[in-house]
Amino acid sequence: MTVVVGYLATPEGEAALETGVAEARRRDARVVVVISRRSRQEQHADVDAELDALRDRLDDAEVAYDVRQLGRGNDVASDLVETAEETGAELIVIGLRRRSPVGKLILGSNAQRILLDAPCPVLAVKPPSTERRSY
C-alpha cells in the first residue's frame, strides 16, 4: 500500500511531507511524493537540487519511497488523484494554507477536488503557525 503526498517546497508542502512520512511508518506503507510542476520556466539546476534534497530527506527518514515529478498537463488535483488510483493508495496527504474568507470561496478548488474525487481518505494538514490568533 502507499501514502501519496502532494509536495512543493513551501511550509504547507513540508507539513504534508512530514505527516505523510509519519503515516507511512504507522501503516508500514510506501510514500509516493508527487511534485506537480506547471511552469516550464523553472531552472533545471534548481529543480534538480530540490529533488536531490528531498530524496536525501526521505533516505534519512528510512521509509520506502518514490518521487514523481509530474507535468503532464493536468492540474495538481488530477495529478494527485490519478497517482492515488495508479498506486492503490490508502491515504493522500495534502498541505493547506490559511485563506481569507473570500479566498476560501474562490481559491480552495484543488483541495476541494482532491477531497471529493480521491479514491481513498485524504488528510489535510497545516504548517505550524508562528503566530497565535485570539478570537
Query: Which DSSP category does 130 fall into?
Result: S
Find the CATH number of the domain harbouring 74.
3.40.50.620
Amino acid (one-letter) located at 42: E
Q: If we measure between CA atoms, which residue out of 8, 7, 12 comes closest to residue 92?
A: 7
122 Cβ neighbours under 8 A, 6+ residues apart:
91, 92, 93, 94, 114, 115
Model pLDDT, residue 44: 61
CB neighbours of residue 85 within 10 Å: 14
Model pLDDT, residue 135: 45
pTM for the predicted model, two decimal places: 0.84
Q: Which three cell numbers stand for residue 45?
A: 539546476
Domain total in the chain: 1
| pLDDT value at 133 more than 60 | no
Q: Would residue 134 count as lying in a domain?
A: no
Q: Would residue 55 count as lying in a domain?
A: yes
Higher-pLDDT residue of 123 and 96 is 123
Q: Would residue 133 count as lying in a domain?
A: no
Rounded to whole angstroms, the Cα distance separating 72 from 77 reads 12
The pLDDT mean for the chain works out to 84
Residues 18-42, mean pLDDT to the nearest whole number: 86
Reported as a pLDDT band with limits 50, 70 and 90, residue 74 is low
| pLDDT value at 134 more than 70 | no
| pLDDT value at 3 more than 70 | yes
Model pLDDT, residue 130: 57
Give the number of C-alpha atoms closer than 13 A to the C-alpha of residue 14, restricted to the C-beta side: 9
Higher-pLDDT residue of 6 and 43 is 6
Can you give the residue range of the structural domain that contains 103? 2-125
Rounded to whole angstroms, the Cα distance separating 78 from 74 reads 6
Q: Would residue 131 count as lying in a domain?
A: no
Q: What is the largest CA-CA distance in the chain?
A: 45
Residues 88-106, mean pLDDT to the nearest whole number: 76
Q: Which three cell numbers stand for residue 85?
A: 488510483
